[in-house]
Structure 1
């Protein structure tokens, strides 16, 4: 529920942000000097031109979103050499951009006008692979890791009524998926898992596996879970523990067997259990998340967390940062670096534990 809640807010703010612009709020973390081992550079990009980093293309290159002269451009940028190459440009108002699991293409969800929106799939070389016109609405996207030509689209209205659709990208066909939950994710080429709750406001539900080729095939995978995440080799379920003050990150095989459990303090807000941002690295099978120091009700989401790295295979945990802000994170494919912040305008070196700003920072502008 928290993920969808944040997605809805970010989508709405994204439209306003792109149309009118916004100022980046300073993050209260100390900036370390660049070291020769890291080679991460502050980029020669004007702060008003920069909009956000979309994500990693590979271990050195990121996809960045810029705006100037009434156009939005998407560039490939090497964070170590500053080499930059424009991939694509548009005059549309951007709502969402998502890189595919194998990172050879990306989806742009944008508004042509108040009545028309577009789903455009762009290759990393800049070719328009597919385009689909849709009505403007709040959409959650789930890309199929086994087949990049398939995607789930979950739409929500202002009353949180939902519909789930399967989009076949090459043909443009969008078909409704009759599922009893909006919390849906691909599990293989044709299998998907979903968290069925008695209502969207409930903290917990039951995780089911279903085959879209045969609706009769529906199996209970895990009962009583908060949330879940799927990678190539791991199913992560977030579950209650016996103590109300803690919760469990349960790492499971693709066959759903638990092989490591990590217990963390449980925090909550007015809407229920609160889940800090996290990233499940597919290639390295590691888990990065913000962890509260104690169980309590959150008054704000500021520097109440530490950033921890969990290796479920070796059953090891490492603290990366102390007293830091809970903001979005995304690790590089090799697991060495991590994009950080609501605009992904910072990089954390997970080995040296240094933080670097990708654009001139606010305290350096004047």
Structure 2
């Protein structure tokens, strides 16, 4: 004779079974979607461009898109490429060789230097590939370019003429005029709409000495504002100077200032040199008050004797230490995305560093043997 199950126990078992079915159903339906979405967000696509055609990545157009320079023979093209969808979209066909390209601070315009038989030409295009300005220039040498972060119609161009004479000019895109700028450096950096900074290394090829100057484009005046500065990094309100350490010949001193000219801590990093000439670390920052990242040697390195070991890491001026993120093969340039999650890396920005995954991914196929 079977025992009769109490009614209350039967109801309890039914409720437990029903809850279990709901839980398993939610796991089988919702979680794969969430996992798939998370994985999809972190899948990087290689550029659908051959190694031979790839020139370089110019920089970030957004947190997901980069500007790519590629070409065949004497005809170069600029593309926008979405890292996560893999979509490659042509923007502009130059009809000649592109020597230099740079993206404006607001990501809406692109500077292009093209080479020609009688000399070069400067061009400004928008993201639709429409030409907005042109200007002939005598040199066919590579230009240094620095876009004004405040006034989008102003940028610096600089180059060596006849191998010795330094030419530093401001290009006013609106008026399409060039104006000479006072600078004893080939790389003046905009500090504000009208002010700029540069280091005069006073003829010291080894870069062990230097003086920091501030110039004003409104009155053509320059003022020496600090000694013992060999180089610097400037981004938004962040200003970091480089100078040899007074305490160790194997260290480089990085001093952070915030606000400008007010010291807010320092870090010493292993010194890197090439034939005794200082090699400064590459730094990058995604925005105001955000973390500063860089490529640093693990040990003092003389590049003429050894390749060295390098790492991509975060500067912590409070602890005076570098917080390592991932090893990288060389002391090469970097550029972080606006969201602070990814950084371009490499002499042609041919890699991307995922700061959360702590991995380095190639953006172009490997060179064929």
TM-score (norm 2): 0.81
Q: Distance in 2 between matches of 1:284 and 1:126?
A: 34
| C-alpha distance in structure 2 between counterparts of 1:103 and 1:251, whole Å | 27
Q: Distance in 1 between matches of 2:205 and 2:51?
A: 39
Q: What does residue 241 of structure 2 align with?
A: 237
- Equivalent in the alignment of 1:132: 135
User: Is the aligned partner of 1:347 residue 2:326?
Assistant: no
Give the whole-Å Cα distance in 2 for the aligned partners of 1:180 and 1:299. Answer: 28
Structure of greater Rg: 2
Residue 325 (str. 1) matches residue 330 (str. 2): yes
- Give the paired residue count: 329
Which 10-residue stretch deviates more, 86-95 or 306-315?
306-315
Equivalent residue, structure 1, for 2:229: 225
- The aligned counterpart of 2:361 is 356
Give how far 1:93 is off.
1.3
1:53, 1:65 within 8 Å by CA — same for their partners in 2? Answer: yes
Is contact 2:293-2:312 (8 Å) kept? yes
Residues 186-195 or 203-212, more deviating: 203-212
Against the structure 1 CA distance between its residues 164 and 313, is the aligned structure 2 distance closer, same or farther, given a 3 Å change threshold? farther
| Gaps in structure 2 of 5+ consecutive residues | 1-37
Task: Name the residue aligned to 1:29.
Answer: none
| Equivalent pair of 1:302/1:326 in contact (CA under 8 Å) | no
Distance change >3 Å, CA 267–CA 46, structure 1 → 2: closer
Inter-CA distance 325–196: structure 2 relative to 1 (3 Å threshold): closer
How far 1:252 sits from its partner (Å)?
1.2
Q: 1:139 to 1:65 in 2, by over 3 A?
A: closer
The residue that corresponds to 1:338 in the other structure is 343
Task: After TM superposition, give the deviation of residue 303 of structure 1 in Å.
Answer: 4.5
Counterpart residue number, 2:97: 93
5+ residue gaps in structure 1? 1-33
What SS does the corresponding residue of 1:236 show, helix, strand or coil? strand
TM-score by length of 1: 0.82
Answer yes or no: is the 8 Å Cα contact 1:238–1:248 preserved in 2.
Answer: yes
Asked if 2 retains the 8 angstrom alpha-carbon contact of 1:301 and 1:326, the reply is: no
**Is 2:121 the partner of 1:118?**
yes
How is 1:259-270 mapped onto 2 (pairs within 5 angstroms)? 259-270=264-275
> Structure 1 stretch 146-155 or stretch 302-311: which is displaced more?
302-311
1:279 paired residue among 280, 284, 288 = 284
CA distance in 1, matches of 2:298, 2:319: 23
1:167 match: 171
Return the alpha-carbon distance in structure 1 between the equivalents of residues 230 and 275 of structure 2: 16
Query: Against the structure 1 CA distance between its residues 165 and 361, is the aligned structure 2 distance closer, same or farther, given a 3 Å change threshold?
Result: same
